[in-house]
Amino acid sequence: CCVCGQSGATIICCVENCNRWFHLPCAKEGGCITQYITPYSSYCPEHRPEQDVQVTPEPGTECPICMEPVEDRKTFKTMVCPACKRAWFHRDCIQAGAIPSAPGHSRASLTLLLFALQGQAIRAGALFFQCPLCRDIKEFLAQMFIMGIRIPFRQPTWEDNDAFADLGERHSRCNAKKCLCPGGREEAEEEGPWELLLCSSCAAEGTHRRCSGLRKRIHHWECDSC
């Protein structure tokens, strides 16, 4: 292995006549790159692709994911968005969310912060992976694939198990202090005295027309909170 010097390396640099081998676990430490797209090419530190963006970060530039300073130039560990050329970030943050320890932070708080930030690429998936600053997808995604960021071809993890299914449900209950509807608060008709109007500001509360004394020509109603 060209990184650790031990035997058993199974990955070889794809550049012709390059005889450098490395272990997959050693790739990150040694600055090797594997592209997780067909034909799944791997590169040693000498032949790995580099970003063709002629720009350097301003002094004090911080990674928008972990809010820690980045290096003063493009390196294996420091990358830049090819679209806006203003978003500089750590490779670990965009791929796996590594966060350096900081004095004064409890272990629990660091664990929660790490969980919140880790794996932007892993969590977002190919359909929603974008620059954390300018939100570009097309150019940013293509560049990250080339630079060896592993981006799954699937829906984002926040869509798992219909996590936000409740957001698509319409409020369907009369919240008047005294509901007059014979069928109860859950009953609603398309028109007439038992038509259910939702608050025009929050849509989180509703009322039957008769329960709030709303005439037929009134089409907008606001709850007491709004």
Check whether residue 70 and residue 136 sit in a common domain: yes
In a domain, 191, yes or no: yes
Check whether residue 31 and residue 66 sit in a common domain: no
In a domain, 54, yes or no: no
Q: Are 110 and 101 in contact (CB under 8 A)?
A: yes
- pLDDT value of position 222: 92
In a domain, 158, yes or no: no
Look up tokens 């660091």; give the residue.
Answer: 110
SS3 content of the chain, % helix, strand, coil (to 5): 25, 10, 65
- pLDDT value of position 119: 57
In a domain, 10, yes or no: yes
- pLDDT value of position 28: 86
CA 61 – CA 57 distance, rounded (Å): 6
- pLDDT value of position 166: 60
Q: Report the SS3 class of residue 97.
A: coil
In a domain, 162, yes or no: no
In a domain, 166, yes or no: no
- pLDDT value of position 152: 79
- pLDDT value of position 128: 75
Check whether residue 23 and residue 82 sit in a common domain: no
Within a 10 A sphere around the Cβ of 199, how many other Cβ atoms? 19
Q: Are 22 and 1 in contact (CB under 8 A)?
A: yes
Contact partners, residue 170, CB within 8 Å, separation at least 6: 198, 203
Check whether residue 140 and residue 68 sit in a common domain: yes
Q: Report the SS3 class of residue 207.
A: strand
With the C-alpha atoms ordered 184, 188, 194, 198, is the resulting torsion angle positive or negative? positive
Q: Are 212 and 218 in contact (CB under 8 A)?
A: no
Q: Using alpha carbons, list the distances in angstroms from residue 172 to 10, 205, 210.
A: 60, 8, 16
In a domain, 55, yes or no: no
- Per-residue pLDDT tens, the chain, 226 aa: give them: 999 999 999 999 999 999 999 998 898 889 999 998 889 999 999 999 999 888 999 999 998 888 889 999 999 999 999 999 999 988 888 875 323 334 444 434 434 433 333 456 666 667 778 887 888 888 998 999 999 988 877 766 655 566 556 666 788 999 999 999 999 999 999 889 999 999 999 888 999 999 999 988 888 999 998 8
In a domain, 214, yes or no: yes
Structural domain for 87, as ranges: 62-147
Looking at the structure of the chain, the number of domains it has is: 3
CA-closest candidate to residue 16, choices 35, 40, 43? 43
- At 197, phi and psi to the nearest 5? -100, 135
Q: What is the CATH number of the domain that holds 206?
A: 3.30.40.10
Quickly count helices (H) and strands (E) in the chain.
Answer: 5, 8
